[in-house]
Structures are given as C-alpha cells and as structure tokens.
Amino acid sequence: MAVIRLKDIRHSYAANPKEGADWALKQMDVEWQDGGAYALLGPSGCGKTTLLNIISGLLTPSHGDVWFDNLNVTSQPADTRNIAQVFQFPVVYDTMSVYDNLAFPLRNRKIDEKIIDIRVHDIARMLDLEHRLKERASGLTADGKQKISLGRGLVREDVNAILFDEPLTVIDPHLKWQLRSKLKELHGRVGATMIYVTHDQTEALTFADQVVVMYDGQVVQIGTPIELFEQPKHTFVGHFIGSPGMNVLQCQLDQGKAIVAGHQIAVVNTLAAPDQLTEIGVRPEFIKFSKNGMAVDIVKVNDVGRHSIVESKMGDHDLKIMVPEGQPIPSDGAHVIFDTAYTGFYVDGWLQERD
Amino acid sequence: MATKSNNQKGWFFVLPVVALVAFNALIPLMTVVNYSVQETFGNNQFFWEGITWFADVLASERLQASLGRQLFFTGTILIIEIPLGIAIALAMPKKGVWVSVCLVLMALPLLIPWNVVGAMWNIFALPDIGLLGRMINGLGFDYNFTQNPTAAWLTTILMDVWHWTSLVVLLSYAGLTSIPDAYYQAAKIDGAGSWAVFRHIQLPKMKRVLTIAILLRFMDSFMIYTEPFVLTGGGPGNTTTFLSIDLVKIALGQFDLGPAAAMSLIYFLVVLLLSWLFYTLMMKNEDQ
C-alpha cells in the first residue's frame, strides 16, 4: 500500500519531441491517495493509457519521476512494483486452467505451492470463480476472462494499486452493472488504490470518489463528481461532464466587464490579456427564466423526462437551458438570468479562480 | 430450430465446382486406379490383375527402402525447419523499416523455381568449382556430394532448409504479430520470464499457423522431387532416391504402368493418412 506520486511527468513516443503535439503527456503532477477510488476520464487519445502504463511500469516516462511513498520507482520494471493492471481486452493464458492462470504470477515469483493454493482459492471465492477453477480459461465468457485478469492481479499480496484500462469495453451491457458493483465491493474489501480509465462519464461517476479529467495530454481537473459539475476548471470539463454539457459563450471585455451579446455578465474575476480567448461558462441547470434578464429567442424545446432542455439563441450564441418538469416555458419575449455562483469566467479554456 | 428448406436448385450452383474438381482430380485419379488393377502390353489391350500390383509394391524391398529414406528426410527437415523458423520469426523486428527488409529477404528463397534451386545448390556444392564445396574441402574436410552418401544427404537437407525455412518463418511471424500487446504487458506485470512468455503466450497463439506450416512442410517434403533430382539425381547409387524419384523411374524409366499406378495410390494414401492424423491430433483440444 502506498501513496503514488507523479512528479513533473512528461512523455513522448517520438524520439526527439519538439512541438506540443509530440507529447502524449504534457506536464503532470498528480498524487494518488492510498486506497482511493479514482476514475480517469477523458476522450480517446488524451493520454489515459499512457499515464496508466507509466504508473504500472510498462512505460518509462521521458521526463519526471514516479514515487511510491518514499521510494522512487521510475526505473523499476513492472513486475517489481506490485501493481495489477486489467486491460481493455481480457488477457488469459489459453492453455492453462483457471486455477493455473490465477497461480501464474505467484509461480513466476517462486512462491510455495501451499501458499499459492490458499491465495488462489481466496481470490476465486472473492470473484465467484471457485466452481470453475478446473476449467480451461479459454472456455470462459468475456466477463469471466476479465475476472481472471483481475484475479491475477489480486492474487499477489500487497498490491499497491489496481489499474483498469476500460475493462468493461467488451462486456455485455447487463453484465457491466454486475461487474462494476463487484469492483466497488472489491475496493472496499481489498483496500488497494484503484484507478479506472474510461471515456464513459456514467461509469466514472458511479465508480469513483475522485474523478481525474484528462484532456490533450494533461490533467485538467481532479475532484469529486460534484466539484466537476459545479466548478469545472476547464471548459472541456464543462463540456464533457454533464448532459447536456456546459454553455460556453465567447465574451468581450469592456473596462473589466464581461460582455456577451451586449449583456454584461456578472462574474467575479475578469483579468485577461487582450489577445487571450475569453469565455463565459454556465451550465444549463443554472440558467433560469426571469421577467427582467437577458433576452433570448427560443428555438426548440426537448422534453427528456423529468426536465426539458430548451435550445435558445442569445444574440449569435447558442444557449441551452434546463427547465424542471412543471415549470412554465415562456412562449415569446423570454428573458433569462445566470446564477452568479455557478457562472465562470474562462481564459484560454481555464477557469479564473474567484479569489 | 428452423427447418431446413429443401431446395434442389442449390445443386446447380455447385455444378461448376464439381465439374472442375472432376476434371482436375477425380478423372485423372480414376485413370490411375484403372492402371493399378490391370496389365497392358500396348495396343490398348488391358488384362485384369486385381491386387497383384499392390501386393508387389508393398513387398518390394526397393520401395520399402525409398519409403524409409523419405520418412527420414521429412522427419529431419521438420525437426530442423520448424524450430529454426520459429526462432528466426521471434528474432525478427516487430516494427520499423527493418520489418520489410527482413520479410523480403525471407521471401526470396520461396520465389525461386524448384529446379533452379536444385541447379544452384548443385553448382554451389561442387567440390572443385562450387563456393561451398571448395570451402569445405579447403577447411580440410573430405566433402564430395556426388560420391559420398553422407555428403549427399547433408547437401540435400541443407538445400531444403535453405529453400523452405522461410515459409515457416513467414507463417510464424504472421502468428506472432497477431498477438495483442496487452498479452505481453500482462505477462510483464505477472512477472513472466521470456521462456514463460514463449511457452504460455506465443506458442499457443501460434498453434494454428504452426499446424498449417507443419502440414505444408510435411506434404511438400514428402512429395519432393525436382530439387533432389536436379541436385543428386537420387545418387550416389540410390542413397537419396526418394519416393517420387523412384516412382518416376518406374513409371517413365521402366514404363511399368501397373506397379507405378499402385505405388501412386499407396503414396497418396500415406500422405493423406499422415496429414489427417496430424491435423486431428492438433485440433483435438481446440473445441473444449
């Protein structure tokens, strides 16, 4: 068990990285608390898998160090790090039985067969594989195989962390739920740090205490699901989390005031250089219709069950507004106000803190 | 379960294939069967002989000897080519410019016509003017494949290994490159050494292509004709006379069509039986 620290990590697959695009991971300083359940969320190609492989030791970063507690493990190979990793596609050793698969990591480490037997049975019981130990691993279904992959990680004692790289991709939808609850349950029981890579926000938000959002090779925000929702630190987080995503409206600065379509928007901090991109971010949930506010033209109303999503235009800007069920939607001459507490001012994509 | 529809029109679509197979396999084969049970003295006159030729062929010491040589040859080249092919495939780069270079180099021997391979090695191994022959003799060994049976065997086997190991390499390489990276990564995390990776990941994943490779090499080497014929002509004496060389001698040299036909059928059945046995054994565990 250990706190995992990534210090000043950068990684490039190119031999001589020059421009920004050469870096799969840009600057990164992250600390993973011992025993935490983290979800690593981000679009394809943002560097999630690279980050996992650096933690597990399959990749050595081009720059920076990986620390487990007070030990610098940057140059340690994967098999000595006590990290378990479950991949997108289940990896089982086809010719072996389920038992031998689970025993494999221990046998490679020359552990006594008696201890192996106890460990394998423990893990098999935990994963509901006990009655299938004698079967050939290749005969199991995808979720069974994925359990074996996971079991091979858990069977080692003192696992520092379990890394999941989109482990439910090939699992049938109705089994996804089961397996995901199993993972949560295991997290409670094993107590190891779990880092769960996904691009599915529902999966991330249900699994994790802390969600790490990555975008374009960097971590843009670490926080609880609530924090990500209420205070997105980057317009990408606003877009990516939530359905529909945050409204991002480009704004002009006029004597320290943020102006969108002729309206002044009340935000706390409006410091920006003249050549920077300035935007206002506000979630559809935090916009209300009001008698006196900013005028909008309603384009379309989508009823999505417990609420309606109103698509509207404020000047040239698209604006989505979420209206709870039962509340009236004005037919014309609609005006809206933004909830100041949840309206952010973004410079080049980054939220300006309310200091 | 859905009931099978009874559609006789289906036969119509199979007809072209049936005709094709009939003309290129069944009808020629039946001619052979025809010869194998009759005796002819020309003039298109045939006399029924029953299984006489089969009995003769099976009892013939000469043919038993060539069958023995054939089995020894095939066994030897399989024992060399399969492990060597796998080893080369494992050593080949997985990505980068060298991949194409290696693949082209590997494919080259396969592109050379069989009789050219025989002729090349014949000249290459000649003790007086050949590069290889001259060199071996220069090193102090008495090497002359035209006179010494051991040298003839060594040269024949070396030639086959040179010509056909590439096939095993290419098939193994195809099998190896189809293994997803995750397997190697998982093995690394599981602490598996390179032998364990080979034994539990690479070899099982190559099983199908290797089965094909062994089958192809078995059948081809068991029916080998052109290369040893051009290289040694079956000699010295008849020490490198393999089944097909003997068959041609009987059929075209002595014009004994009856025994030759009987031998062809036995030959065919042996290849078929061994291939079937091997394939069935290899695939036995697949379905479990």
Residue B98 has, within 13 A of its CA and on its CB side, a CA count of 5
Which strands make up the sheet holding A63-68, listed edge to edge? A23-32, A4-12, A63-68, A71-72
Verify whether the Cβ–Cβ distance B191 to A105 is below 8 Å: yes
Of A57, A91, A96, nearest to B186 by CB-CB distance is: A91
Q: Please give the Cα distance from A102 to A182 (Å, whole number).
A: 18
Q: Please give the Cα distance from A72 to A77 (Å, whole number).
A: 12
Residues of chain A that touch chain B, judged by Cβ-Cβ distance less than 8 Å = 53, 56-58, 77-79, 83-85, 87-89, 91, 93-96, 104-105, 108-109, 136, 139, 149, 152-153
Cα B45 → chain centroid: 37
Verify whether the Cβ–Cβ distance A79 to B288 is below 8 Å: no
**Taking chain B (288 residues) in consecutive chunks of 10 residues, what is each chunk's mean pLDDT?**
69 90 87 82 75 81 88 95 95 89 92 91 88 87 85 91 94 92 89 89 91 92 88 83 85 80 88 90 70
What's phi and psi for B257, nearest 5 deg?
-65, -35
Closest Cα in chain A to B190: A105
Comparing CA positions, the residue from B258, B254, B249 lying closest to residue B229 is B249
Q: Please give the Cα distance from A207 to A227 (Å, whole number).
A: 16
Q: DSSP characters for B227-285?
A: HHHHHTTT-STTTT--HHHHHHIIIIIS--HHHHHHHHHHHHHHHHHHHHHHHHHHHTT
User: B91: burial class by Cβ within 10 Å (0-12, 13-18, 19+)?
Assistant: exposed
Residue B235: which region, alpha, beta or left (left: phi > 0; alpha: psi -120 to 50)? beta
| pLDDT score at B7 | 74
Picking from A49, A60, A80, A91 by the largest number of B CB atoms within 10 A of its own CB, the best residue to mutate is A91
Asked whether A309 and A245 are in contact (CB, 8 A), the reply is no
Extract the tokens encoding B214: 């062994």
Residue tagged 């060199």 (tokens): B135
Verify whether the Cβ–Cβ distance B180 to A96 is below 8 Å: no
Evaluate if residue A73 carries a pLDDT over 80. yes
Chain B residues within an 8 Å CB radius of A149: 186
Which 3 state secondary structure label does DSSP give B4? coil
Chain B residues within an 8 Å CB radius of A88: 182
| pLDDT score at B107 | 92
Q: Please give the Cα distance from B249 to B255 (Å, whole number).
A: 8
3-state SS of chain A? Answer: CCCEEEEEEEEECCCCCCCHHHEEEEEEEEEECCCCEEEEECCCCCCHHHHHHHHHCCCCCCEEEEEECCEECCCCCHHHCCEEEECCCCCCCCCCEHHHHHHHHHHHCCCCHHHHHHHHHHHHHHCCCHHHCCCEHHHCCHHHHHHHHHHHHHCCCCCCEEEEECCCCCCCHHHHHHHHHHHHHHHHHHCCEEEEEECCHHHHHHHCCEEEEEECCEEEEEECHHHHHHCCCEHHHHHHCCCCCCEEEECEEECCEEEECCEEECCCCCCCCCCCCEEEEECHHHEEEEEEEEEEEEEEEEECCCEEEEEEEECCEEEEEEEECCCCCCCCCEEEEECHHHEEEEECCEECCCC
Is the N-terminal amide bond of A17 cis, ω within 30° of 0? no
Chain A residues within an 8 Å CB radius of B183: 91
> pTM of the entire structure?
0.77
Chain A residues within an 8 Å CB radius of B180: 89
Cα A304 → chain centroid: 25
Verify whether the Cβ–Cβ distance A93 to B182 is below 8 Å: no
Vertex A61: Cα angle to A60 and A67 (nearest 5) = 85
Evaluate if residue A245 carries a pLDDT over 70. yes
Closest Cα in chain B to A100: B200
Closest Cα in chain A to B197: A93
Most confident residue range from A9-18, A69-78, A112-121: A112-121
Evaluate if residue A166 carries a pLDDT over 90. no
Picking from B95, B183, B189 by the largest number of A CB atoms within 10 A of its own CB, the best residue to mutate is B189
Average pLDDT over residues A328-333: 78
User: B252: burial class by Cβ within 10 Å (0-12, 13-18, 19+)?
Assistant: exposed
Evaluate if residue A21 carries a pLDDT over 90. no
Average pLDDT over residues A73-94: 86
* Average per-residue pLDDT for chain A: 85
Verify whether the Cβ–Cβ distance B182 to A88 is below 8 Å: yes
Q: Please give the Cα distance from A9 to A25 (Å, whole number).
A: 8
Distance from CA of A298 to the nearest CA of B (A): 50
Verify whether the Cβ–Cβ distance B189 to A94 is below 8 Å: no
Chain A residues within an 8 Å CB radius of B188: 58, 77-79
Close Cβ partners of B171 (under 8 Å, ≥ 6 residues apart): B85, B209, B210, B212, B213
| pLDDT score at A189 | 80
Share of chain A above pLDDT 70, in %: 99
Asked whether B209 and B171 are in contact (CB, 8 A), the reply is yes
Verify whether the Cβ–Cβ distance B189 to A83 is below 8 Å: yes
Verify whether the Cβ–Cβ distance B185 to A53 is below 8 Å: yes
Give per-residue pLDDT as tens, A41-65.
Answer: 888 878 888 888 888 888 888 888 8
Of B180, B191, B201, nearest to A108 by CB-CB distance is: B191
Which strands make up the sheet holding A252-254, listed edge to edge? A252-254, A257-260, A263-265
Residue tagged 């250990």 (tokens): A2
Q: Please give the Cα distance from B180 to A87 (Å, whole number).
A: 11
Verify whether the Cβ–Cβ distance B204 to A94 is below 8 Å: yes
